[in-house]
């Protein structure tokens, strides 16, 4: 079974501490947009949160959605807010050999892109999209659970919370973004500010459809 971990533990500081997964883009909460597209793949979904308040908010939303997908909400196992902690929680909660990690604030990410990414892991420990500039997308990536968990534990033991510290310990297939995403700049666009929300609504108006 395809397993997807949605990292949803951020604070949304530049959005007056709004909880980003529940921000409405194109008429729906971002999380709902993501889950509706993921349902086409019939995956197992882990939603990683940081606080009990976030967990409770998501439970209410999921109940309202009457979602059909297999979803678990997991709180960070370490009380430190960092992307690496979210990844660690996802890995320790995974029940499969690999887990796809995505952020909770990318409303235009397509399920078909995740399937293409999955095909790229091959015999590597991870497959991560890379831009022509060399910039990588480690939070829209697929990781092999056992070696990545070992690498994360090594980083945490040295109090190194940057994801880059873990990536150095893995065999990674860096995949050009145009081999993963149909529209790289749109699909990787994430919401951090009110200006980003305005741009997202403009994308909706320009008929970049949320649904495939």
* Burial grade of 160 (CB within 10 A; 0-12, 13-18, 19 or more): middle
pTM: 0.90
Give the dihedral sign, CA 77/167/143/56. positive
Q: Which residue has the tokens 């050999």?
A: 97
166-176: buried (b, 16+ CB within 10 Å) or exposed (e) per residue? Answer: bbeebebbbbe
How far is Cα 203 from Cα 126, in angstroms, rounded to an integer?
Answer: 31
Q: By three-state DSSP, how is residue 111 classified? A: helix
| pLDDT tens sequence for the chain (212 residues) | 789 999 998 766 667 768 888 998 888 899 988 998 998 888 899 999 988 999 998 888 888 766 556 899 999 888 777 889 999 999 999 999 999 999 999 999 999 999 999 999 999 999 999 999 999 999 999 999 999 999 999 999 999 989 999 999 999 999 999 999 999 999 999 998 889 989 998 998 875 444 44
Where exactly are the structural domains of the chain?
A: 3-210
* Residue 30 C-alpha from the chain's centroid: 12
How far is Cα 153 from Cα 145, in angstroms, rounded to an integer?
Answer: 12
- How many CA atoms are closer than 13 Å to the CA of 42, on its beta-carbon side? 1
- CATH of the structural domain 3-210, one choice from 3.40.50.300, 3.40.50.11890, 2.60.120.200, 3.90.550.10: 3.90.550.10
- Nearest CA-CA partner of 92 in 103, 102, 110, 78: 78
pLDDT of residue 211: 46
């Amino acid at each position: 079974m395809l397993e997807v971990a949605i990292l949803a533990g951020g604070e949304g500081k530049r959005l007056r501490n709004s909880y980003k997964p529940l921000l409405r883009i194109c008429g729906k909460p971002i999380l709902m947009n993501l889950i509706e597209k993921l349902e086409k793949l019939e995956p197992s979904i882990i939603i990683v949160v940081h606080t009990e308040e976030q967990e409770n908010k998501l439970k209410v939303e999921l109940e309202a959605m009457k979602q059909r997908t297999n979803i678990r909400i997991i709180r960070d196992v370490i009380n430190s807010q960092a992307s690496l902690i979210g990844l660690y929680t996802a890995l320790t909660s995974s029940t499969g050999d690999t887990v796809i990690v995505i952020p909770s604030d990318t409303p235009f990410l397509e399920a078909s892109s995740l399937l293409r990414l999955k095909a790229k892991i091959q015999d590597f420990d991870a497959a991560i999209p890379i831009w022509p500039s060399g910039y990588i997308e480690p939070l829209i990536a697929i990781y092999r659970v056992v070696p990545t968990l070992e690498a994360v534990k090594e980083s945490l033991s040295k109090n190194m919370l940057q994801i880059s510290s873990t990536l150095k310990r893995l065999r990674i297939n860096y995949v050009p973004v145009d081999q993963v995403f149909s529209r790289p700049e749109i699909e990787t666009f994430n919401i951090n500010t009110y200006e980003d929300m305005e741009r997202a609504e403009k994308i909706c108006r320009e008929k970049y459809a949320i649904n495939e």
